[in-house]
Amino acid sequence: MSSNDKELVGNYEVTKSGVVTRREVLLMGAMAAASGSLIAGSQNPAKAADAPAAPAGAYKAKDFKALAGTMTGLSASQITQHLKLYEGYVAKSNAIHESLKTVELTSANATYSAVRELLIEQSFAHNGVVYHEYYFNNLGGKGGEPTGDFKSAIEENWGSTGKFMDFLKAAGKSARGWVIVGYNTRAGYVDAYALDTHNIASPANIVPLVVLDVYEHAYMIDYGIDRAKYLEAFINNLSWAAVDKRLSIATKHASGIDTTL
Ligand SMILES: [Fe+2]
């Protein structure tokens, strides 16, 4: 791409094909330069060029490419760019997992230390992988009405499907990172939670059912800053079958139900 094809506007690089964040630009640059070495989670652009190639490991990126170009209101470009970010979290999860095996331990310190930094960023990268997989897996449907036990669960908690949908949109406007509608294994009901980033306010013993990414990177290419339109698109592509299947499994999953176990 020539310099004539792009323009830097604040933190965003505007190209003929759309808008990507500076962070995404750095991620893509690192991918090209280091064959999969990515800097997801890094706030320091200098790390992009310095980052070593991430090792292969237990985390393997799942294939969501079929979503690109098949949804209404979410473009192929939007999904493709988003998947690159997800793949970055996969790569970094593997890299951090390996680094923790050999990290220097004698300097461990709660203000700053290498082991502290790796542990904190591991939760960021790990949640970045897992929440994105829930997100992409609950897309690809046709929206419409919730189904099955999930429909009964939200009617029990919110009173009606319509009230739940209004709540979901409001939650989507309120969070800075994620909205998780999940099965609370401690209490036995479905409730909603907001996360401002992958690893801040992530609730314990909550099985995600509806996972909504409201980071700007999830919709900037298609909608700029118009999050409300993105929320409509998200809902129109929701797979309620996937959501209901998750609830069915969650209610049978004993490990989180009794916290005295
Ligand atoms: Fe995302």
Closest CA to 131 of 236, 192, 60, 202: 202
Q: pLDDT digit string (tens) for 47-74?
A: 434 444 556 788 999 999 999 999 999 9
CA distance 32 to 60: 19
DSSP 111: S
Say if residue 91 is in the same domain as residue 195.
Answer: no
- pTM, rounded to two decimals: 0.78
* Residue 243 one-letter amino acid: V
Say if residue 125 is in the same domain as residue 163.
Answer: no
Residue 86 CA, ligand 1 centroid: distance in Å: 7
261 found inside a domain: no
Residue 128 CA, ligand 1 centroid: distance in Å: 8
Residue 131 CA, ligand 1 centroid: distance in Å: 8
Is-contact 255 261, C-beta < 8 A?
yes
Q: pLDDT digit string (tens) for 20-47?
A: 333 433 333 333 333 333 223 333 333 4
Domain count of the chain? 2
190-210 residues labelled b (16+ CB within 10 A) or e (exposed) = bebbbbeebbeebeeebbbbb
Say if residue 103 is in the same domain as residue 211.
Answer: no
Residue 108 CA, ligand 1 centroid: distance in Å: 31
Say if residue 107 is in the same domain as residue 228.
Answer: no
227: CATH: 3.55.40.20
Is-contact 24 8, C-beta < 8 A?
no
Closest CA to 199 of 255, 104, 117, 256: 117
Structural domain for 198, as ranges: 148-256
Residue 109 CA, ligand 1 centroid: distance in Å: 31
Say if residue 105 is in the same domain as residue 67.
Answer: yes
